[in-house]
Structure formats: C-alpha cells, structure tokens
Amino acid sequence: MRTLTIETLELPLARPFVIARGARTAVPVVRVTLTEDGVSASGECSPNARYQAYPDGICRQLETLRAAIETGLSRQQLGRLLPPGSARNALDCALWRLEGALRGQSLWQLTGRTPPAAGAIVCAQTLSLGPAASMASAAAEAVGGGARLLKIKLDRQQILEKVAAIRASAPRATLIIDANEAWAGVDLASLFAALQTYGIAMIEQPLPAGQDADLLRCVHPIPICADESCHSAVDIAGLRGRYDMINIKLDKCGGLSEALAMVAEAKLQGMRVMVGCMLGSSLAMEAALPVAIDAEFVDLDGPLWLAQDAAPHLQYGQGQVSWVPLAGAQLTANGGA
C-alpha cells in the first residue's frame, strides 16, 4: 500500500528577488511524499501566480487523485489525469524518485542519462533587477565567487546602461538576459543590435506570451529563448521562426516525464534547449539534472536565493552545481547565500 503526504511551506529568501513583474521575499512550495514498502520519496513544486497556480489550488488538485495515487497511480496515468503545471510536477518527480528508491537506482539510471564525468554542471547565477550600480556590484561578487554564466533580469528601464555596467564588472563572463515579457513596444531590432556589442549570448522571452508574432519579422543576431511562451512539448513546433531555443521548467511542463519529452521534441524541431527553474529548494532542482545535460544553458540556481535549503542539498560553487542522490527533505541553513 502506498501513502501520500502533502505539505505546504513558505521558504524565506536570503534577499529580495526582483524581476519585471515584481519582488518576492519568500516562496511558497508544495511538497509531496510517497511511502511504499518502507521507503519514502518526495517531489516539490513552486506554484507561480503568473500561471494562475497557488498552493491551495495545487493541494486540491492532488487531493482529487489521492485514492488513485495510493492504489498505485503510474507516471503514464498521471500525464493523462493532470494538465501540465506545478501539481503534476511535484507528483511526477515523487513517482520517479519512489521508483528509484524501490529499485535502488538514481534518476540518472532510471532516465538512461549519463552524468558528466566531472560530477558538476555549469550553472547560471541570476542577477536580480535593480539599479545599474547594484546589479554591477552583484555581478562582480558573483564572478569573484567563480560564476561563469550570469543571467540578467531586466525590465524596459535603462536596459543598455545596466548591461554595460554588468559587462564592465564581469568582462569574461557569459551573459544571458531574461526580460520576463517586458519589452513590448520596444524597438527590438535596434535593441538587439546594441546588445550584440556586449557579447550577449541569449535573450529570454522579450515579448509577452501570445503577443510575440513580431519576432517572426525581427532580425535577431542574438538567439531568442521561449519561456512563458513554451509550457510543454505540444507548444514547440509552433514556436519555430520566432524562437531559437526553449526554456524547459519542470513547474511549467509538469515534471521530469514531460521535460524529457520536450527535449526529444526540441531536437526534432531543430531547436536548442535551456533548463530553468522557479525559486525552490535543491529537492526541486535535482529532479531537473537529467534534463540539464541536454541543455546549452542551465539555470538551476533557485536554492542560492533561499535563507534555508532542503538537505541533503546540491552543492553550488565555482559557477557549477554538483550533487549527491537526494531522498527526503529537511531544512538546513544556506550559509547566507
């Protein structure tokens, strides 16, 4: 017999996280734990208001499936019962981990992926939106700690001034930009040309989802990545011509199962892959690592923003994320990260 436990937690942030849509000082997460034959396994999701996802709604979705879950619901059945999104993500990842625990296998083994020999993956460090000087200071601090890939959160204010200040503080770092849908009405062709001079490697979601047809006619020397415009594998074919890349997030697509399907579909459509995250703990990030090895850019730095992380936790340092197999989750201090 399998048992299901659902809990909601509020994880305080070590410092405010600011993007074009607003600021956050804490992140709510929903954790699902499955126990079967004496072993337990967990999954975590981070409901996001941008996708009309809230903790109480996630818990209600999961409760409607309690009887099916506790009588042996499979990942394949789950994909037919819940839409892409946070609730499916938490349960899908818990089911993957439960299978691994029962078989004595890791997510790498279950998915048929081979982890990098070095045991670590280059990971972006996000620069929260703020004044140019503070963002430049954050960039200098990040590269001083070994960061090699910086993700710059921007709105439509002082775009070039902020990028110039960050580039001056991090002359050798790879820079990618996330506009979070904020550049509607901006002269994109001129902006893209100007940003090219700063060696920007990628721009994520410049226009609002559903309002991005202008990208079909816009020459962009810098690759453009779909985030809010791309939720699951069925979206990918329709994005060709607008975007060069997709950002796979487990909370958007509904878990590791759909994320793997998105990787396969992206390859079929000739599109490149990024793997990203919502704010959350190592429990959420570790589930995305089998996808990260197929990604050109990896943005799984959510735990670095937390005042506390889930233990056993991923290791962040020298611009990389490394791991040990995770099981249950406990909170431990994040060392002021």
Q: Which residues are annotated as a binding site for Mg(2+)?
A: 178, 204, 227
Q: From CA 276, how far away is CA 231, in angstroms rounded?
A: 12
- Which one from 151, 162, 249, 252 is the annotated catalytic residue? 249
Q: Which residues are documented as binding site?
A: 178, 204, 227
Cβ neighbors of 333 (< 8 A, separation 6 or more) are 307, 308
Residue 221, both tokens:
């020397």
Burial 122-133 (b: 16+ CB within 10 A, else e): bbbbbbbbbebe
The tokens for 45 are 């999701």
- The closest of 318, 317, 331, 282 to 303, measured between CA atoms, is 282
Distance CA 48, CA 124 (A): 21
Is position 151 annotated as part of the catalytic site? no
- Of the candidates 153, 162, 252, 267, the residue annotated as catalytic is 153
Residues 6+ apart with CB under 8 A from 79: 88, 92, 254, 257, 258
Give the residue from 270, 248, 245, 273 showing the smallest Cα distance to 259.
248
Query: What's the CA gap between 63 and 176, in Å, rounded?
Result: 39
Among 305, 308, 329, which residue's Cα sits nearest to residue 23? 305
Active site residue 267: no
Catalytic residues: 153, 249
